[in-house]
Amino acid sequence: MKVLKFGGTSVGSSKTIKQVISILEDLSRKDDLAVVVSAVGGITDKLLSAAHAAVEKSNSYKDEFKLIKSIHLEIIDGLIPDNNKAEVSEVIMAKLTGLEQLLDGLYLINELSQKTTDKLLSFGELMSSYIISEAVKNANLSVSLKNSQELIVTDEQHTQASVIQEITDNNIKSFFKGNQSKITILPGFISRSENGEITTLGRGGSDYTAALIAAALNAEELQIWTDVSGMFTANPKLVKQAVPIRSISYQEAVELSHFGAKVLYPPTVQPVLDKDIPMVIKNTMAPHDAGTLITKNPENGSTNPVKGISHIGDIALLTLQGNGMVGIPGFSKRLFETLALHKINIILITQASSEHSICFGIKDSDASLAKKAIDTTFEFEIALHKIDPILVETGLSIIAIVGDNMKNHRGISGKMFSSLGKNNVNIRAIAQGASERNISAVIDARDVSKALNTLHERFFEVETRQINLFITGVGNVGERLLEQIRQQKPYIKEHLKVNLRVIGLSNSRTMFFDKSGIDLKKWTQKLDQGQPADINEFFDSVKSMNLRNCIFVDVTANDSVAAIYAKYLKDNIAVVACNKIACSSDYNVYYELKRLSRKFNTPFLFETNVGAGLPVIDTLSHLITSGDEVHSIHAVLSGSLNFIFNNFNDSTRFHDIVKQAQLEGYTEPDPRIDLSGIDVARKILILARESGSVLNLDEIETESFLTTKALQAKSVEDFFDTLTEDEDHYQNLYQSAKNKACQLKFVAEYNDGKAKVGLREIPKDHPFYNLQGKDNIVMFYTKRYPEQPMIIKGAGAGADVTASGLFADIIRASNN
């Protein structure tokens, strides 16, 4: 025989009940079935709502009753054929009349006792089982209906009755011994005391009913039919990548259920655990899915020691602490006796080895009562300052990883906590049993989704790591970056096992967010429809989403954006910056950002600050890390200026060449930033700082080649006018170099802690002479390269190469 339990959405409507009948028809061809059913249509909650309304003297209880009545009659109408509908309706109407009378009575006496609550709730189960048995009968299946109250006997504890096992087992065996039906329908959850009073089995009571019957009959299997295809590796509503667990042990199932996996209620497992009866969790609406098999010794071929991740919400963490506890026996006993006396359940316990404190987790709703009771119990010790008043922290959750084989694998807890730490999930308390089947941690409730996804990725998604990008600045470079991400996303996912998702975008006018990822084919339309842009609100949105593996990408030249890098780093959000302002502003700002990056183990990368896509900073970093020392740096660091001076000659106008560089994206929209030399000064400053020098921008000697009028121009338009007016000045610069057979290059130099930038006449035998187009070149003279420098050369300007440099930094940050 097999025992089946259908509940929740399985019996939520006539449509789902028809699916149940189809399953029964298929299974009864091979086996006898005992079928336990819950109340249809979620009636239990509606019954309680009606009762509370009646007790509160609200006439709305009558509306609740009408709803309950209509649900049952609609299910009858959708399930029962016309020739039997009147008879079934008559039976249900009689029960509904009894229910209505009970509600009227509650309205009059203004009280709802636990005893009456049990009687009230039994209506739902009894009506449900009758309707379903009649529907099965009309499907021409061999079926009988048996009231579970005649089988399951309990004590007098209403709403949470304890089963009297021996009597119950005998009743079940006796009934089924004489039962000839292929299918037996029984209501779940309800029972009866030895004195004949109606009782209920509490939370998970229908599952418990099924387990009791399966154990008494030594059933071949217990099947729990619900609305999901088994127990999942994590809550699929919070972790989209969660998958069903093929097989799991009883103990693992109990642990996962205790920590929030709502498919199963822990006491349910005990009766079948004692008899080694397999359990299967199945999906009513997807009956052919494998589901989850729960056995004593599961075999699924998986080498993963972690079977699942779960959580409990609405937790309060209470701490009893004080120097007077150390070495004094009895504190724990008094604490736990106090909680037991007030029927407060402890979910998690941890105690410091110093005996200075005891920390435990309970439901948020019990926190006030617990504090009052404990403070009263220890009133004397608190008055003498031997211990502190109980400390209460609310708004917390417990997360747990579960697996029988974790004890045989080293490093599981290390992986768990390091993954959480990297994603800024602060852990308030930790607990692990000696069996090592469960590792639990208390965290802020706001971090639950991020924590679950982080741990699931760490233990179940080793193939692919999800990276969430927030990009501000989608002009020329930003646009190219988005296109590169769109094009390369499949390659990155397949070869690097990184799934890049752009979650937030912002320009100077609007910003747009999509937690599931922005469609990069439609990002311009989405951004146009976004909310007004605000730098601080952008950060607040990133923080409130609280996603794992986040990277903020700054593709602006905005000092306000650079000013909030520290906020991102403190929240373990990596920063990739094209913006030079942060790293070239006051040294203390630069130092603090580097310090925060180290402290929070969060990448702060700015490769494109110096050489666009060239690996200049990365190479310098490797030199320093390996113990080399930089003596001097000689570089052409402006692809824009190199383009300009490579194309400017006595047959062109300086104005026209600068305009061409602006139009082709080699300069900033305001070319004065490039031509003033300030941009190159910022770059050599960054290289000097990365070499270990403590310098500020005002300490760099800048020799400008621009005229006074150009430097004082009030607008870009005025600046271009001065270039035309001062053409002779620029031609003289060119002729001077030409007469010496030299090339004009804007050069940055760093020597012995000092730096300068300026226009230089470069002779033919110098490495800079043949530097073409928009190329950059950097020469590092170091302790290991004293005479022949390490040279890095290549394109140093342009939207595509700058975007590729940003892309490379994003991948580096992803691999951290």
Active site residues: 683
Q: Which residue shows structure tokens 């359990």?
A: 279
Residue 263 · residue 294 · CB < 8 Å: no
Half-sphere exposure of 756 (CA within 13 A, CB side): 8
The whole-angstrom separation of Cα 30 and Cα 472 is: 63
Closest CA to 270 of 287, 251, 285: 251
Q: Which residue shows structure tokens 């800048």?
A: 702
The whole-angstrom separation of Cα 650 and Cα 631 is: 38
The whole-angstrom separation of Cα 499 and Cα 502 is: 10
Residue 472 · residue 553 · CB < 8 Å: yes
SS3 806: helix
Closest CA to 642 of 794, 789, 754: 794
- CA dihedral 35→40→41→46, nearest 10 degrees, is -130
In the DSSP assignment, the letter for residue 388 is P
Amino acid making up residue 76: I
**330: how many CB neighbours lie within 10 A of its CB?**
8
The whole-angstrom separation of Cα 399 and Cα 405 is: 18
**509: how many CB neighbours lie within 10 A of its CB?**
10
Dig out the tokens for 659 from the structure: 């305009």
552, with CB counted inside 10 A (0-12, 13-18, 19+), is buried
The whole-angstrom separation of Cα 361 and Cα 348 is: 5
**764: how many CB neighbours lie within 10 A of its CB?**
10
Which spans in 180-262 are helix H? 205-216, 250-258
Q: List Cβ neighbours of 424 (8 Å cut-off, separation of 6 or more).
A: 571, 572, 573, 600
DSSP string, 53-85: HHHTT-THHHHHHHHHHHHHHHHHHHHS-HHHH
CA distances for 478 relative to 472, 491, 521, 548, angstroms: 8, 20, 14, 23
The whole-angstrom separation of Cα 378 and Cα 320 is: 10
In the DSSP assignment, the letter for residue 493 is I
The whole-angstrom separation of Cα 572 and Cα 543 is: 10
Residue 603 · residue 816 · CB < 8 Å: yes
Residue 230 · residue 292 · CB < 8 Å: yes
The whole-angstrom separation of Cα 603 and Cα 596 is: 9
**At 554, which helix (H) or strand (E)?**
strand 550-554
Amino acid making up residue 684: I
Residue 443 · residue 396 · CB < 8 Å: yes
The CA-to-CA distance between both ends of the chain, in Å, stands at 55
Phi and psi dihedrals of 706, rounded to 5?
Answer: -75, 155
Dig out the tokens for 322 from the structure: 């004080």
Half-sphere exposure of 796 (CA within 13 A, CB side): 29
The whole-angstrom separation of Cα 468 and Cα 465 is: 10
The whole-angstrom separation of Cα 530 and Cα 511 is: 5
Rg for the chain, CA atoms, rounded: 37
Which spans in 110-199 are helix H? 114-137, 165-178
The whole-angstrom separation of Cα 648 and Cα 642 is: 10
